[in-house]
Structure 1
Amino acid sequence: MADFDWAFLVEVLVGGLLSGVMYSLVAIGFVLVYKTSGVLNFAQGAMLLFAALTFVSLIERDVPFIAAMAISLAIMAALGLAIERAVLRPLVNKPPITLFMATLGLSYVIEGAAQLLWGTQVHALDLGIDDTPFEMAGVLISQFDLFAAGVAATLVAILAAFFNFTRIGLSFRAVADDQFAAYAVGLRLPRIWAAVWTAAGIVALVAGLIWGSRLGVQFSLSLVVLKALPVLVLGGFDSILGAIVGGLLIGAFEKLSEVYLGPFVGGGIEGWFAYVAALVFLLVRPAGLFGQKLVERA
């Protein structure tokens, strides 16, 4: 143990935690929709792609950064609202598999619309954040990952303030706790669902810009939703806190497994280890660390 490089372990762990924050950004979009309506929104990845393509296409047309951001925010809010009105509202009270298949089909529709509007070429997206690592207490930290962590923390703080101090946010919490009770006391569920889908569109824009800057804006960007699935399994599908904690855990597991277990299995373990961990976790705690346990009464 005397030869063990503890500084390197900390560096790998910090890198994994910061990478996990980017997974959490995607997972939050899932949680917002699932918590209020019980819908696993598989179109979140396509929304993320559409948001990134919209923003980068405006930038390439010499639209100023602030204006491009404002226009993209308006478009994604409108897209989320349109999805709720045109697709999800007519399917209220349908079986969960029907809603899931609707969002799965919707993902292909959104990707097709993005291809029709913006083309299929790969776009470089530069947010002006230098990715050069800097040293802190002997540990190298990526400036971009640190920026992504700051964005995620800001987003979570805004959502927390919204849910705790606004009327719509409090209504959202009531619907999340019990839809039927919320309806019985006069809350307008369609209005709340519309607000949630609008928020999901805005979250997709934030995640799309971060991931697009890291990977480039291309159609494979929509596949980052697959990274969110083990995050949701660990944290819970209906908990924003769970999305954050689950992302941190998955990011740390991936990096540590690749560095310390990868040499024994030939490498490449980072791509699938998180799914193995999620599968094992499902057997132990299906609801996740912070998810609510489903109680069915006969």
Structure 2
Amino acid sequence: MFDYQFLLEVLIGGLLSGVMYSLVAIGFVLIYKTSGVLNFAQGAMLLFAALTFVSLVERGAPFLAALAATLVIMVVLGIATERLVLRPLVNQPPVTLFMATLGLSYVIEGAAQLLWGTQVHGLDIGISDAPFEVAGVLISRFDLFAAAVAGSLVALFALFFRYTRTGLSFRAVADDQFAALAVGLRLPRVWAAVWIVAGIVALVGGLLWGARLGVQFSLSLVVLKALPVLVLGGFDSITGAIVGGLLVGAIEKLAEVYVGPLFGGGIEAWAAYVAALALLLIRPSGLFGQKLVERV
């Protein structure tokens, strides 16, 4: 007899895990939506934030002080990235900008290694991963906390984009850069603000992923988890990043439990990519992405 309660437990676990994928994907979307740059350095920024925070804590800094210092460092990193790397490459082909962020990711990883060393760190943010039971369904406390943090961050972004002057500038630049420039918006200032926000997202994601996996250099590879999320949801949609993350999390868990035994295991590592490839054949722009229309 099929166990529907176990299915629900697996599905909820997948959805909660998917929220953490969405956190990484949102950093991509913010940059791509406003500047057209696929920021492959987002994973390195996530690693740098987590490594900086845990290194400061291990050196005796109080939790809140280390968090504030890391936040300032990520803001500075975001501004420096826009000013020193991206601004000189404005109007260059997309592949040039992508290669610049790819090279930047190695520079950031090298700087992290130079500053903090290469050892693996454990990161404890005070949230247990022990499950608790709700109506017979086991739910991870940490996954629930991570989902709450990510949901709060998304809600703040929604309010920020709708009601603040800077947020409205983001939306204007995302809709039409030339029109935004024509009405007096300073694009370099908007781009710098976007990179600052991406740095803050990297900090939140770095703390959550660092607590889950440990702070190590392979943490930067979590960026690869964001790729099927972006393909499914769309590269220019924050809503798509959230929905895509939920889909990827659910697909991975369901494939691991119900399909994995048929193939000897390991399917959770590539099941989301199969789903993303299938969607690419049907809808290349993703579920929520805008279709590219070129006028000849």
The answer to whether residue 243 in structure 2 is matched with residue 245 in structure 1 is yes
Name the SS for the 1:297 alignment partner: coil
TM-score (ref. length: structure 2): 0.99
Match of 1:69 in 2: 67
Which residue does 2:11 correspond to in 1? 13
The aligned amino acid for 1:198 is I
Between the aligned partners of 1:245 and 1:23, the Cα distance in structure 2 is: 10
Please report how far the alpha carbon of residue 161 of structure 1 lies from its aligned counterpart in structure 2 after TM superposition. 1.1
Alpha-carbon distance in structure 1 between the residues aligned to 2:172 and 2:135? 45
Pick the aligned partner of 1:95 from 88, 93, 96. Answer: 93
Pick from 50, 53, 56 the counterpart of residue 52 of structure 1: 50
Identity fraction in percent: 81
C-alpha displacement at 1:24, in angstroms?
0.4
Query: Which residue of the partner structure matches residue 112 of structure 1?
Result: 110
- Which residue does 1:24 correspond to in 2? 22
Which residue of structure 2 aligns with residue 164 of structure 1? 162
Structure 1 position 158, deviation (Å): 1.1
Aligned partner of residue 61 in structure 2, secondary structure: coil
- 1:7-32 superposed Cα distances (whole Å, 9 cap, x missing partner): 00000000000010010010000000
CA distance, structure 2, for counterparts of residue 285 and residue 72 of structure 1: 39
Task: Tell me by how many angstroms 1:267 deviates.
Answer: 0.8
SS at match of 2:138: strand
SS of the residue corresponding to residue 261 of structure 1 reads helix
Q: Could you tell me which amino acid in structure 2 is paired with residue 228 of structure 1?
A: A
Distance 1:186 1:200 in 2: 24
- Please state whether the residue corresponding to 2:291 is helix, strand or coil: coil
Shift of 1:263: 1.0
Provide the residue aligned with 2:275 in structure 1.
Answer: 277
Give the drift of 1:51.
0.2
TM-score normalized by the length of structure 1:
0.99
SS at match of 1:129: coil
Q: Distance in 1 between matches of 2:154 and 2:75?
A: 18
Structure 2 distance, partners of 1:162, 1:215, is: 31
Name the structure 2 match of 1:129.
Answer: 127
**Number of the residue aligned with 2:222:** 224
Q: Which amino acid in the other structure matches residue 73 of structure 1?
A: L
Q: SS at the partner of 2:60?
A: coil
Partners in 2 of 1:136 and 1:231 — Cα distance?
A: 28
Q: Which residue of 2 aligns with 1:202?
A: 200
Residue 82 of structure 2 is matched in structure 1 by 84
Paired with 1:161 and 1:71, the residues of 2 have a C-alpha distance of 25
Distance 2:287 2:177 in 1: 23
1:71 aligned partner, one-letter code: A
Question: Where do 4+ consecutive residues of structure 1 move more than 4 Å?
Answer: none
- Aligned twin of 2:265: 267
Distance in 2 (CA, whole Å) between partners of 1:203 and 1:78 is 14
The alignment's C-alpha RMSD in Å is: 0.5
SS in 2 for 1:134: strand
Q: Secondary structure at the match of 2:133?
A: strand
1:185 is displaced (CA, Å) by: 1.0
Deviation at 1:159, TM superposition (A): 0.9
Q: Deviations over 1:240-296 (max 9, x none)?
A: 111000000000001001111111111110001111111111001111111111000
2:179 counterpart SS class: helix
Q: Is the deviation greater in 217-226 or in 158-167?
A: 158-167
The residue type equivalent to 1:284 in the other structure is I
Which of the numbers 282, 288, 293 marks the counterpart of 1:290? Answer: 288
**Alignment partner of 2:174 out of 173, 176, 188:** 176
Instruction: Extract unaligned runs of 5+ from structure 2.
Output: none
